[in-house]
Amino acid sequence: MTATAPHLRAADAALLRVEDLVVEFRAAGRRRVHAVSGVSFDVLPGETLGIVGESGCGKSTTARAVMRVTRPASGSVRFRGAELTRLSERGLRRIRTSMQMIFQDPVSSLNPRRRVRDIVAEPLVVWGRGDAAAREAKVREALAAVGLDYDVVGDRYPHQFSGGQCQRISIARALVLEPELLVCDEPVSALDVSVQAQILNLLEDLKERYGLTLVFISHDLAVVKNVCDRVAVMYLGKVVEVAPADALYRASAHPYTRALLSSIPDPDPDPGPDAAARDAEYGPRGESPSPLDPPSGCRYRTRCPLAQDKCAREVPEPRQLDDGHTVACHFPITTS
């Protein structure tokens, strides 16, 4: 536990620990895009962490900085205790195979000119793993794990498959290197609702089978609810609330989380007097501010119905409410 991120657990218990991550981009006129501004979270082995928030809040940038596709301006990313931001290219190469990522648009993430067997084998070739026969065995196994038959699909090209099947192929490609951590960036957002459930079930099965640890990014709390142990809610480059999934849905304390929850249809036929309507009252007003010029103090204050003077003056530091539940708000909601 740290003062700035009380939701972090013991450093040696975490597979991935991200602390105070800052990522900025240069915009026109030497202005800075404050895409990720001091984000902290951790993931224990075998856990699934959800990262949710509306478009542009910094989810993908956070994921790319964790994978070292994007270089952070500052902060720490530890994987199995190794500080990735300070590792040499060589050290990083060794660890990179243990961390894989899958993306929102499976069709465009697959090379259209290559056959499925070569697409899935590519990471093995790049990392010099095994001979041709060993690689084929691995590709067969990975395709079978995602429900595809090598003899049927191996010779085909991506355009011959549906979006759901393409996502299965990208998952197979991520699995061949036997990663420990799978970062899934909106893996089902581009798919039909019926196919979404199949891919989510597949990820759950693979997690069990291979002992994977997942970071699951989505703008949709309803999706995250069913697959995550813990959830971190992001708003304009900051984590505003972290909680075990059930606590977040039962008793979220940040107005922004409440607003996100109000957009999920409630499966409970009698959720109480207009629970969704009540949560909607905490909802964002107006447009999201630009990350070029985030509001002072609390970044949600320009849209928050509970905002007071203090919210403009002071950045709300995360504080612990219950075990594993932290919120960054000066006036957290305490009614459930």
Ligand X SMILES: Nc1ncnc2c1ncn2[C@@H]1O[C@H](COP(=O)(O)OP(=O)(O)OP(=O)(O)O)[C@@H](O)[C@H]1O
Q: Is 25 in the site for ligand X (CB under 6 A)?
A: yes
How long is the chain?
336
Q: 55 touches which of ligand X, ligand SF4, Mg ion, none (CB within 5 to 8 A by kind)?
A: ligand X
Q: 329 touches which of ligand SF4, ligand X, Mg ion, none (CB within 5 to 8 A by kind)?
A: ligand SF4
Q: 304 touches which of ligand SF4, Mg ion, ligand X, none (CB within 5 to 8 A by kind)?
A: ligand SF4
Q: 298 touches which of ligand X, ligand SF4, Mg ion, none (CB within 5 to 8 A by kind)?
A: ligand SF4
Q: 331 touches which of Mg ion, ligand SF4, ligand X, none (CB within 5 to 8 A by kind)?
A: ligand SF4
Q: Is 295 in the site for ligand SF4 (CB under 6 A)?
A: no
CA distance 102 to 2: 31
- Nearest by Cα to 105 from 40, 167, 16, 56: 167
CA distance 201 to 291: 35
Q: Which is nearer to Mg ion, 60 or 326 (CB)?
A: 60
Q: Is 182 in the site for ligand X (CB under 6 A)?
A: no
Q: Which is nearer to Mg ion, 161 or 235 (CB)?
A: 235
Residue window 296-315: x/- pattern of binding to ligand SF4, with contact defined by CB under 6 A: --x-xx--x-xx---x----
In the chain, helix, strand, coil percent, each to 5? 35, 20, 45
Residue with tokens 């009252």: 281
- Nearest by Cα to 187 from 171, 172, 176, 173: 171
CA distance 147 to 20: 39
The strand pairing partners of 183, in sequence order, are 101, 215
Which stretches of the chain bind ligand SF4, using CB under 6 A? 255, 298, 300-301, 304, 306-307, 311, 316, 329-331
